[in-house]
Every structure is written in C-alpha cells, then in structure tokens.
Chains A and B, each alone.
Chain A
C-alpha cells in the first residue's frame, strides 16, 4: 500500500485530502498515468502540461522516481503563497 496526499486545489479530486492505494511497484509517472485514467476531471487536474510537483516521503522530486510499497506520495499543484 502507498498513501497519496493531495494539496491545494487537488483536494477537489479527493475531498479527504488523502487515500491509500495498493501498489504493485512502479514510478511516479506510472502513478500519475493511473490516476489520470480515473476520469476526465482527474485527467484534467493532473494533465502533464499543468505544472505540479511530487514528493515521495516528504522529499520533493524534480524528475520521475520509483515508488516503493509503503511510500508516502504527495501531489502538489502550482504554488500560490506569499
């Protein structure tokens, strides 16, 4: 199992802000592809053209990376602080 946390506007996809998912292994790109296949609103919100980052185990990623069973994945939409 992996846990996925959604931040900011991505909570509109998953109002609780988090979910657990059984994970056979794969990369962050494969996880995103799987989430996009859930429906048009997922495909739209997680479109590759939209800038967002992922973090695995609270480490921000700048490139695709493997996800291991038990990892905590966070999906971050474009930031709007300050």
Chain B
C-alpha cells in the first residue's frame, strides 16, 4: 500500500490504481501532466532526469513524513523520467485513508515536497528544436514552506480527544561526554542501573515507541530494550538536532507526538509525559511544550508534534543556531512549569553523579 516507482514507460493509471484497503473511505489521485505551452512557445516534450537510487529514497522519505502526519492506508508515487510528450502523465500520487481529509492533505503535502526535495530535473523541448533546463520556482518553495507554518500553528489533524494519543520517545545519548572524561554518560550506573535506563523506565509506561539517539556503545544501549539510532553522517556534527533528525525516519507512522528527554536526567517526574501531552493537545495548543522549573527552562526535555520535526530539514541546511533552545524558540514553543526542581537534576559531570549516588 506504500510504494514509490520511477519508470521511463508511460504510466498506466489502471495498474497504478491498485485495490485500496477496505477501511479506506477516501482515495485521492493526483495526476501531473505535460502542458502544451511553456512561456508562450509550443512545447513538444519534456525530458526528465533523476538520480537513480537517491531520488527513490528521497520520495520514500517524503512519504514517511506524510505517514507520520496523517493516518494513511495507502500512499503510492509513480514518477516518469526520460522523454515525456505533451498530454502524457509525469507523476501520479495516490493516497487513501479512512476519511477524506487525511488523503487530501497528505496528497498535496507529498506533491509539494516532491517538487522541492526530490532530485528531478526537467528540460523543455520546443517544436522549433530549442531545448532548455527549467529553473526552480520560488512558488514551489513557498508551497512546501506552507506546511512548516501550519506545523507551527499546531494545525495538524486532531484526533478525537477520547482517543488515546500515540507518543514516540527519543532519549538523547549522542553526545561526546566530554565533561565526564569521554565516559559514555548514559551508561554510568546510578543505583545499579545505567542513567539512560532510569530515563527509559520512566518514559516507557507512557509511550508507544522508545528510541535512543546514541553514537557510541550502541549494543549497550540496545540492551536497554529500545531502538538505537546513530546520527546520520549526512547531518554532520550538529549535536542533538542531528540526533533528532536522524531519528525522524525511524519513528513508526501515525504518532501524535514525539517526547524528547536527555539520558542524564534520571529522576524525571512520573507526570512528565501526561502533563506535557495535556498542554500540547489543548485546543489551540502550541507545536511544542518544553519543561521548566523555577531555576531554568529545560530545552532538552520537551514534547512536540511530529510535523514540527520537518522544520529541522531546512534549518540543518543553513548555518544557523543548532541548539535545541534556538530551534524550539524559533518554532514558537510554550513552557510548562514543574515544581519539583530536584526531579530535573541533570548529571552533567562525575561530581553530580557522585552526589546522586550518595
């Protein structure tokens, strides 16, 4: 039900339209075609080029983002490359869902991102023999950016409040541990359990999926019973944002929120996840809620809507502030006050760990 195909042969709508699942009450099909006019001249055909292997995985990533944001039973993309004559189909995107809004919105989202992120290049060939490469359009960029703005306003589809929210959690353990003499901080023991396990055990009853962002001692983290995700080198050394972005494609589809916590806060309060969720899913709630205590805002402890993570992609591309604080503030996060200062104790160095062990 989820497929990406790139082909040189004409797209057959009959085969592209496979049997949608019985639970689908709505199916949307977008067909992009070659128009016969380009800037007033008579167009004969387009020639489309792609980057084999890379284009497919970029489209799969876009479909994955759509699945995180909308409840879909089907998302299929067929894109043609090579010579495509006037009137022929370039791309067919089909989405299906229980209700029409998910299928409609996901379909537009996939096309908007496909046009700005997937590696395809179009050459226009005219009847008089001229040919030229099509320039990227600012209007396409704006169309894709619109989804970021909606993520900020928290305008994602909301499920009925009676329905339980599905939450995925990510524990950040990817740092170098430089303040612990390069010991792997999350694996230091406190009362017989690694610090990261304290965090994992605290989150697990409240979440549907648990992952740990780590770059060293991966097997030790796996033994804590979580999915371990190392930084994707494509994002370079970008600290926690690279860890979150690397995890983006690994979360299961259909989550309503992402909970992020550091590996070195072993005493987090039991009501952390429920309270952050209540604030996030309040009517007109913010796109992210960050935990705060009287002393400070804890920017590494927050819950956000999955759609907000998409804003990391353009942020990583430009030199900007790669701190969690910078990103969360730019996204318009809210803070939620907790009373128990000690519960947010952060084991930054060995003396802090020894103090907790005592």
Contacts and interface: CB of A to CB of B under 8 A. Distances in A.
Interface of A: 7-9, 12, 51, 53, 55, 58-65, 74, 76-82
Contact of B91 (A12, A78, A81): A81
B316 interface: yes
A62 B51 contact: no
Nearest to B81: A81
Contacts of A59: 54, 233-234
B298 interface: no
B133 interface: yes
A63 B137 CA distance: 23
A55 B54 contact: yes
Contact of B136 (A51, A55, A65, A74): A51
B239 to A, nearest CB: 12
Given A74-B51, A74-B54, A79-B116, 18 more contacts: A8-B49, A8-B121, A9-B121, A51-B136, A58-B54, A59-B54, A63-B235, A63-B316, A65-B236, A76-B119, A77-B121, A79-B121, A79-B136, A80-B134, A80-B135, A80-B136, A80-B137, A82-B111
Interface of B: 32, 48-51, 53-54, 58, 79, 90-91, 111, 114-122, 133-137, 233-236, 238, 313, 316-317
A59 B53 CA distance: 9
Nearest to A61: B234
B114 to A, nearest CB: 5
A-B pairs with the 10 shortest C-beta distances? A81-B120, A8-B121, A78-B136, A63-B236, A9-B133, A82-B115, A80-B122, A80-B134, A62-B316, A82-B114
B117 A8 contact: no
A74 B133 CA distance: 18
Contacts of A74: 51, 54
Contact of B121 (A7, A51, A53): A7
Contacts of A77: 121, 133, 136
B121 A62 contact: no
Interface centre among B117, B119, B134, B233 (most CB of A within 10 A): B119
B90 A82 contact: yes
A63 B238 contact: yes
A62 B120 contact: no
A19 to B, nearest CB: 17
7 contacts: A58-B54, A63-B238, A77-B136, A80-B115, A80-B135, A81-B114, A82-B32
B119 A79 contact: yes
Contacts of B54: 55, 58-60, 74
Contacts of A60: 54, 58, 119, 234
Contacts of B53: 58
A50 to B, nearest CB: 9
A61 B76 CA distance: 26
A62 B236 contact: yes
Given A60-B58, A62-B235, A63-B236, A81 B316 contact: no
Contacts of A7: 49, 51, 119, 121
A81 B6 CA distance: 12
B235 A79 contact: no
Nearest to B319: A63
Contacts of B114: 81-82
A63 B91 CA distance: 30
